Homo-oligomer: A and B are copies of this chain.
Amino acid sequence: MDRGNAFAANCPTRQLLDRVADKWSVLVLLILGDGDMRFGGLKRRVEGVSQKMLSQTLRSLERDGLVTREVTPTMPVMVTYGITPLGRELLSALRSMIDWAETSMVKVVAAQRSYDARP
C-alpha cells in the first residue's frame, strides 16, 4: 500500500492525521523550521503549552521522524531540537493552512458573532 486512506479508522494515515492535525505539533514545527531550539526556548515561544504537553509533542514528532533530538554532554546536559527533511516537507504542506488561518481569522470571527446572535 503506497497511499493511505485517512477515512479508515485503522489506517496509519488516520494516526498520522491525528499528529499533523494537532495545534501543538504545528506550532513546534513552525518554530523549528526557522532553526534549532532548546526545550526552554520552545516553551517560551509556544504560549500556553504545558511542560508535559510540549514533552509529549516533541517525543511524538521525534518518533515520527519529523524532529531530531540532539544531546550535548555538557553539565547540565544540553538538549537541542531540530527539524528533519521529512518534517520540512510536512511544514511546507502546512504553510498554506497556517496562512489561511492567519488571514481568514477576521471572517471566522464575524461568522461566530453572527451565529451567536441568532435567536
Contact surface of A with B, Cβ cutoff 8 Å: 2-10, 12-14, 16-18, 20-23, 25-27, 30-31, 45-48, 62-66, 86, 89-90, 92-94, 96-112, 114-116
Closest to A99 in B: B93
Q: How many copies does the complex hold?
A: 2
List 27 A–B pairs whose Cβ atoms lie within 8 Å, in order of A's numbering: A3-B102, A3-B103, A4-B105, A5-B102, A6-B27, A6-B102, A8-B47, A9-B47, A18-B23, A21-B22, A21-B23, A21-B26, A63-B112, A64-B108, A64-B111, A65-B107, A65-B110, A65-B115, A66-B108, A86-B104, A86-B107, A86-B111, A90-B100, A92-B96, A93-B97, A94-B97, A97-B97
Shortest Cβ gap from A33 to chain B (Å): 13
Q: CA separation between A105 and B103, bound complex, in Å?
A: 30
- Given A6-B26, A12-B105, 11 new contacts (CB under 8 A): A4-B105, A6-B101, A7-B45, A10-B47, A21-B97, A63-B111, A64-B111, A65-B107, A66-B111, A86-B111, A93-B97
Closest to A10 in B: B47
Q: CA separation between A86 and B97, bound complex, in Å?
A: 13
